Structure 1
Amino acid sequence: MTTKSIRLDAELEEKIKSSEDNFSRFVNFLIKDHFRGNAWIPNMSIHDYAGISPKDLLERMKAVKYFRVRDNALCFTFYPSTQEELLVNKNLHAYANGSHNALHDRYIYFNVEYPVDFYFFLISHEWVVIEKVIESYLAFLFWHSDDNEKSIMERQVERTTFTNAIKLFNSEFQEINSLWLVFAENNDPIAKEKFSKAFFKKLIDLGIDPIIFPYVSEITHFLHHPFSFVDHISPKSRQFEVAVKSAYLRDVYDEKDDWQTIVMKGSSKDDLQRSESLEEPFRNWESKYRYYHSRPTTS
């Protein structure tokens, strides 16, 4: 899927080049909330996973009025510690870009609710770019951490991702680190201005899309307190993850579970009203799925 990027590179470049811009105004521009709220993205190809037609799927699910819902079981992380977390990242990206059966495991996902701004971030970039964004953010985080935190990162972050992030740190952050040291040692306003411009230029060059800033607390914090570590965020309060809500049928235990009885066998009249269930994601999925698959096909 090819989608026009929503990154603001041209405008950001112009902002960086302009010496007349007030720094706080520039920060507000970077973290402006361009896209608000959340949006359900329904699975339009769930019948393919079941191996049946859309018509048969709707027929077998005609008694269903609710979906089971989990609020934060699926998370996109900018601080991956395992290959499994990287796979979830990749699958959330794939789902957002139309591969709607990419997420299934023991839960069969019919609808996924993304923050709208983050959804646009995912559909605006190929996966290889997303990987680079994660590594670039970790390189920034490494630069922004003290020696103890650097050691913690080395132990926690998935090995290949950490190695790539350190390569970026060594190749890309030395110049701005030198500017930072000049400012920190001399409290030099000229060095401060040079550092701020070089820092944001570096974020843009690395592909760190401003739209992710609200989801990574270090960058957000740094934007508001760029020249003081007095309010440095403690590791426990750091924000690395974007949680998405998911609506699903369960396929965990045995052939008597939701997916098996309702969809695969078509033998259940269960409406799926449970303590964890919601009606909204089902209505959202059913209406859009029914409309999508009732459209006349073109040859």
Structure 2
Amino acid sequence: MTSSQLPQLIARIERWPIAGAFTISRGAKTEAITVVAEVSQGGHTGRGECVPYARYGETPEATLAALLSMREALHNGLGREALQAALPAGAARNALDCALIDLEARIGGRRAWELLGRPAPRPCTTAFTISLGTPKAMAAATAKAAHRPLLKIKLGGNGDGKRIAAVRKQAPESELIVDANEAWSPANLEQNLAACAAAGVTLVEQPLPAGQDELLARIRRPVAVCADESVHDRASLEGLRARYDAVNIKLDKSGGLTEALAMADTAQALGFEIMVGCMVATSLSMAPAMLLTPQARFVDLDGPLLLATDRDDGLRYDGSTVYPPDAALWG
């Protein structure tokens, strides 16, 4: 096989300004830093994007290095299945996994969901995120988004009862889901869950720190609770059944669409509801995750809506309705 017929990998770090700031319990940021992998072969190029997450010890530089370390393996025939063992679950594997799926779909002239034997994604409603702030600031942000049918509210611990009450007052018709990002404690867990129940919240995401969430199995949960930082791939599911009602599947955690789809099937079999989540990133990160939406009760793929600008051929958003990707973008 000539060098032109061998898979060629390039990868790079990209920076995308956020519209304003994005604030959660761990802090605020004004840009999304992504790493893009491109695999070319036979005149076709497949792309994948990931977001390295410091919460899991990832950096853009280390993620880029992990991707570039796979060049020789790709030349030697590394495919998606072998990739699952070649790299650990995480951002780097996600970008390469999605790039390989995109490439395979383009070479075969099929859409990614056809290639993978999955139902075609349809337009669906995505959550829209309200960043953490004072009750007054969050109420003001919610008032501007109150027309959206599903809002995801970032909370942060003390004072969350006032925050969620202020949000509900401004969005009486919206379905509310909450993300505490591990910021609650055993001391305020039941109080905050009660405040969410009083506000008609449908789902509370990751209230306690991962590894310190045993209390969830011992209390009455008045609102469904969803694992995020506590769940990564299929291997982490079984031990969560007593503590959580739902799981948030993110491609950057699972290490790509290949594992995420298998994880969704396993989660459903275990009785979990499914949320499809994302990091703040461009449409290239959201596009593969759209293949999970037919199995999802909650879709949270609003990353591009939080950016100052998205990439060319980005996903189409009509209000809170997100549409499947065009082939020009991915898959």
TM-score normalised over the length of structure 1? 0.24
Instruction: State the structure with bigger RCO (CA 8 A, min sep 6), 1 or 2.
Output: 1
Choose between structure 1 and 2: higher strand proportion.
2
TM-score normalised over the length of structure 2? 0.22
Choose between structure 1 and 2: higher helix proportion.
1
